[in-house]
Amino acid sequence: MGEDAARLAARLVCFGFDGYTPDAHAREMIAKGCGAVIIFDRNIKSPTQVATLCADLKRLAAPRPLLVMIDQEGGRVRRFRPPQFSDIPAAAAIGACSDPVKAAGATGGVIASELRACHVDMTLAPVLDVNTNPNNAVIGDRSYGSDARVASACGTAFIDALQAGGVAGCAKHWPGHGDTEEDSHDALPASRHGLRRLESVEMAPFRAAVSANVASALVAHLLVPAMEPEAHRPASCSERCVTHLRKNLRFGDGVVMTDDMEMGALRGIPWPDREGE
Using left for φ > 0, alpha for ψ between -120 and 50, and beta otherwise, residue 140 falls in left
The strand ranges marked E within 71-196 are 72-74, 77-78, 122-123, 170-174
User: Is-contact 11 33, C-beta < 8 A?
Assistant: yes
Amino acid at 67: L
The yes-or-no answer on residue 259 being catalytic is yes
Catalytic residue among 129, 141, 160, 259: 259
Q: Is 185 a catalytic site residue? A: yes
Choose the catalytic residue: 23, 41, 87, 185: 185
Query: From its phi and psi, is residue 260 left (phi > 0), alpha (psi between -120 and 50) or beta?
Result: beta
Beta-bridge partners for 217: 171, 256
CB atoms within 10 A of CB 223: 23
Query: How far apart (Å, rounded) are the C-alpha atoms in residues 18 and 45?
Result: 12
| Residues marked as catalytic | 185, 259
